[in-house]
Amino acid sequence: MKMAEGGNEIYLDHAGTTLYPKSLVEKFAADMTSNLFGNPHSASSSSQTSTSRIEDVRLRVLQFFHADPSEFDLVFVANATAGIKLVADAFRGHERGFSYLYHQASHTSLVGVREETPHSLCLDDAAVHNWLGGKDPTTELGQHAGPVLFAYPAQSNMDGRRLTLDWSHGIRKCQSASDRPIFTLLDAAAFVSTSPLDLSNSETAPDFTVLSFYKIFGFPDLGGLIVRRQAASIFASRKYFGGGTVDMVVCVREQWHAPKSQALHESLEDGTLPVHSIIALDSALDVHCQLFTSMRDVANHTSFLSRRLHDGLATLRHSNNKPVCVLYSQPACTSGNGPVIAFNLQSHLGGWVSLAEFEKLAVLKRFHIRTGGLCNPGGIASSLSLEPWEMKRNFSSGFRCGAENDIIGGKPTGVIRVSLGAISTISDVDKFIEFIAEFYRAADIPGSVSSIPLQAAQDQPNLYVKSITVFPIKSCGGFCVPAGATWEVREEGLAWDREWCLVHRGTGQALSQKRYPRMALIRPVIDFTKGHLRVSYLGSSKNGESELYIPLSANPSLFQTTAASKPMASRVCGEEISAQIYTSSKVNNYFSDILDVPCMLARFPPGGLGNRMRHAKAHLQKHQKVNKTHYKVPYRFPGMNTPPDSDSESERQRILLSNESPILAINLSSLEILNRQIVSHGGRPVSPEAFRANIVIASLGADSQSFAYSEDHWSSLKIGQQDFKMLGSCRRCHMVCIDQETAKKSEEPFVTLAKTRRFDGKVFFGTHMCHIPSQRTDTKEAQFPTITVGDEVLVDPV
Ligand SMILES: *Cc1c(COP(=O)(O)O)cnc(C)c1O
């Protein structure tokens, strides 16, 4: 089996989907190319081939679960969720309504069924046990006479916990107070991926079992609903009928239809079956058996690995003996637990590690894992002790699935989930444990807050501006301001910085190098003499167009008019902006061809849009404030304007399309230290361009090492004649790992930064700043503030 890229990937998201073996894809391809499969249910031979294959596969799948076809029927659906909805459809249609009870470990797709009835209840273990012991929870739901549906997962997709299959039988046997029939729905989607499911006893089997085949075989993307025939009558209540499920339909003058009555699946499989996916199951079953022999073997293999992973993580300790991982999963051997480990990371001081930050590093180290709420609201709430009011507070304070800010009120909002599958190896598990130990165990983290390499600078270093760069098109290459040129600084940043951006044609989302690394090779040059932005591409483009010229003047005829079509709302970092979109297909195709994504060029009006302006998000970080006392103020320059000092004021700093603040600066001395650390571990030094700073500050002569990371403690700067306020350190992501010359991604510098420059779980390098306009109005510098390469830089420390 081969992984798509390079083979260095470590795939630990089998609960998301397991991987599709190469031999399966090949076998399926051979099957497809040597047979002719038509739309089933007609007389042609291609149609007949499909029909008979589908019926064979249906039987094979039932046999895979030891389900006797005279007791069970299999309905093909898109995925487990579609199976759940089909069951919900039937109950919703029941003339007396229905009561719905679901276990708290349920997947979101099971939880959602509750919206189909006013009578629903979420049960924990105790409530289920009480029910089995005779305490009927449906009495809480008020008087009504419809059937009862009890749903639960065979295995939690969040922490791998396995719930006993006996409940299906036990609960069904519980007579409800008013003799209402009770049905059981088992969500086996997570369970069957690494466990045998045995339905050989139809008396004890659940009435409805749903699953997704891609979770077992990796392919095809298909689901199944296994119905116990004794429960089939409930589907008579289903109202909707789709093509293929009826024998006759009368529309004109009278409305009448006759559902197909021979086989249950015929009346439930709406529309054309996913013929080729079903046929692929044949190959999937063959290959799975060849590679792994049986589900029993898969189960043994994965529980062994899962125990090793669990124990490895559980025994990791910080140097002060505090655990590194807080685990929510049980080891596979003791209780029934699938090969899924859910946990969070804690610092040696007990602080939680942000999931978003963890993912950045995991991605660079090529681990494929999942973090967050994992579609399991009840499981997350109980593992993390989140009360409903806390979850609602988090939601109303802006938290969304996948948000950056994922520690709220001192609690994590999700978990890290590692899940194993049939192809997982000891090496996968050990590498993951080593990764956690290397980056999250305190003994191995040299750069904790107390050891910022920071000494009081003895001599005033001669700081100067080494280079000035603007990025006319957001996320594309930079334009180096030539030596000697004066460059205007504005409240919202350097002139011409991030004035343009590329937006996706479909979503309006601004494109970023993170997803499209080749953007680094798109090089805009500002040519004031010719009055245009000259764009070239360093790689080879599909259409071979080498250069593009975009007028610097914002001639309205270049843009889509508001009247003709409502301009699409564009988004930068999730914020809505209204940029002007270029109409020229030559312009838009130039970028689309290079990046191989349908996109358009957009321009942000200079100076912004009044109230619709975007504002800086940068602010001082905690690590920047801690060392105040031991940093002596070595130099303070006269005549400096007092910078605005309230946080709120700095947060209202206007920006154009840059991510966080008007101007980003880096200190070359810090980069030298960083590069020394990278080289000492055998890595290659990174160039300043990787950080995409506007201003690179270097020191002349002075011992640069003693000056490294002093920018953490600057409060303001004077560059030439201009004053700047520092807005806080720049939080980094793995975008710094894209080589701006080759657009290739590597691990550095993020991996070393994560070890040396991580504060509060976040990684920082460089500093945000903004220009402070002069109070005076009568000088040239005040009226047209500029900076120049080579300008002297004076620092005012915090
Ligand atoms: C994956 C999963 C689902 C959803 O499966 P789909 O294929 O997305 O419909 C439901 N329940 C559990 C337990 C799962 O693991």
At 661, list the tokens: 């603040």
Residue where a domain terminates, one of 549, 570, 604:
604
Whether residue 209 contacts residue 226, with contact meaning beta carbons closer than 8 Å, is answered with: yes
Atom of ligand 1 nearest to the CA of 84: 9
d(CA 94, CA 112) in angstroms, rounded, equals 18
Within 8 A by CB and 6+ apart from 120, the residues are 99, 100, 101, 102, 113, 114, 141
Mutate to test the pocket of ligand 1, among 79, 186, 212 (most ligand atoms within 8 A of CB): 212
Residue 451 pLDDT exceeds 50: no
The label of the residue with tokens 């312009």 reads 587
Asked, for residue 472, whether it belongs to a domain, the answer is no
Asked, for residue 157, whether it belongs to a domain, the answer is yes
With CA atoms as reference, report the closest residue to 467 among 453, 477, 479.
Answer: 479
Q: Which range is least confidently modeled, 204-213, 470-479, 575-584, 627-636?
A: 627-636
Domain count, the chain: 4
Cis omega (within 30 of 0) for bond into 749: yes
Measured in Å, residue 348 CA sits from the centre of ligand 1 at 35
- Identify whether residues 50 and 185 lie together within a single domain: yes
d(CA 586, CA 330) in angstroms, rounded, equals 59
- Identify whether residues 623 and 532 lie together within a single domain: no
- Identify whether residues 635 and 579 lie together within a single domain: no
Average pLDDT over residues 115-142: 90
- Identify whether residues 424 and 538 lie together within a single domain: no
Cα dist from 502 to 222, 237, 582, 598, whole Å: 36, 52, 10, 10
Asked, for residue 6, whether it belongs to a domain, the answer is no
- Identify whether residues 629 and 591 lie together within a single domain: no
Whether residue 73 contacts residue 232, with contact meaning beta carbons closer than 8 Å, is answered with: yes
Asked, for residue 479, whether it belongs to a domain, the answer is no
What is the layout of strands, in order, in the sheet containing 486-490?
A: 493-494, 486-490, 786-788
Atom of ligand 1 nearest to the CA of 15: 15
**What size, in residues, is the chain?**
798
CATH number, domain containing residue 146: 3.40.640.10
What integer pLDDT is reported at residue 648 of this predicted model?
36
Within 8 A by CB and 6+ apart from 615, the residues are 651, 652, 653, 654, 655
Coil, strand, or helix at residue 475?
A: coil
What integer pLDDT is reported at residue 641 of this predicted model?
34
Q: Which range is least confidently modeled, 143-152, 234-243, 569-578, 683-692?
A: 569-578
- Identify whether residues 278 and 320 lie together within a single domain: no
What integer pLDDT is reported at residue 454 of this predicted model?
42
d(CA 442, CA 296) in angstroms, rounded, equals 40
- Identify whether residues 636 and 709 lie together within a single domain: yes
* Residue 210 near ligand 1, beta carbon < 6 Å: no
Residue 319's CB is within 10 A of a number of other CB atoms, namely 11
* Residue 189 near ligand 1, beta carbon < 6 Å: yes
What integer pLDDT is reported at residue 527 of this predicted model?
92
Whether residue 697 contacts residue 666, with contact meaning beta carbons closer than 8 Å, is answered with: yes
Coil, strand, or helix at residue 753?
A: helix
- Identify whether residues 99 and 227 lie together within a single domain: yes
d(CA 2, CA 6) in angstroms, rounded, equals 9
Asked, for residue 719, whether it belongs to a domain, the answer is yes
- Identify whether residues 683 and 562 lie together within a single domain: no
What integer pLDDT is reported at residue 4 of this predicted model?
44
Measured in Å, residue 190 CA sits from the centre of ligand 1 at 7
CATH number, domain containing residue 435: 3.90.1150.10
Query: 118-122, 345-349, 507-511, 648-652: which has the highest mean pLDDT?
Result: 118-122
Provide φ and ψ at 27, rounded to 5°: -65, -40
Measured in Å, residue 72 CA sits from the centre of ligand 1 at 21
Range of the domain at 144: 23-239+274-290
* Residue 212 near ligand 1, beta carbon < 6 Å: yes
Residue where a domain terminates, one of 391, 423, 440:
440
More confident residue, 395 or 486: 486
The pLDDT confidence band at residue 557, using thresholds 50, 70 and 90, is confident
Asked, for residue 173, whether it belongs to a domain, the answer is yes
- Identify whether residues 704 and 771 lie together within a single domain: yes
H or E element in which residue 347 lies: none
With CA atoms as reference, report the closest residue to 482 among 499, 491, 470, 497.
Answer: 470
Atom of ligand 1 nearest to the CA of 214: 7
What integer pLDDT is reported at residue 62 of this predicted model?
97
**Interval 625-684: pLDDT, tens:** 544 433 333 333 333 333 333 333 344 566 666 667 889 999 999 999 999 999 998 999
Can you spell out the DSSP letters for 514-565?
A: TT-GGGGGEEEEEETTTTEEEEEESS--SS---EEEEESS--GGGB--TTTS
What integer pLDDT is reported at residue 462 of this predicted model?
85
- Identify whether residues 228 and 371 lie together within a single domain: no
Rounded to whole angstroms, the maximal C-alpha distance in the chain is: 97
Measured in Å, residue 81 CA sits from the centre of ligand 1 at 6
d(CA 707, CA 793) in angstroms, rounded, equals 14
Asked, for residue 69, whether it belongs to a domain, the answer is yes
* Residue 690 near ligand 1, beta carbon < 6 Å: no
- Identify whether residues 51 and 143 lie together within a single domain: yes
* Residue 157 near ligand 1, beta carbon < 6 Å: yes
Residue where a domain terminates, one of 406, 440, 474:
440
* Residue 669 near ligand 1, beta carbon < 6 Å: no
Q: Which residues are catalytic?
A: 375
Q: What is the pTM of this model?
A: 0.80
Atom of ligand 1 nearest to the CA of 81: 9
**Interval 343-363: pLDDT, tens:** 999 988 888 898 988 999 999
d(CA 668, CA 670) in angstroms, rounded, equals 5
d(CA 68, CA 200) in angstroms, rounded, equals 7
Measured in Å, residue 159 CA sits from the centre of ligand 1 at 14
Measured in Å, residue 85 CA sits from the centre of ligand 1 at 12
More confident residue, 643 or 128: 128
Mutate to test the pocket of ligand 1, among 375, 376, 417 (most ligand atoms within 8 A of CB): 375
d(CA 344, CA 326) in angstroms, rounded, equals 5
What integer pLDDT is reported at residue 42 of this predicted model?
85
H or E element in which residue 415 lies: strand 415-419
Whether residue 363 contacts residue 13, with contact meaning beta carbons closer than 8 Å, is answered with: no
Residue 301's CB is within 10 A of a number of other CB atoms, namely 19
**Interval 714-761: pLDDT, tens:** 889 999 989 999 988 998 888 899 999 999 999 999 999 998 888 877
Asked, for residue 86, whether it belongs to a domain, the answer is yes
The pLDDT confidence band at residue 178, using thresholds 50, 70 and 90, is low
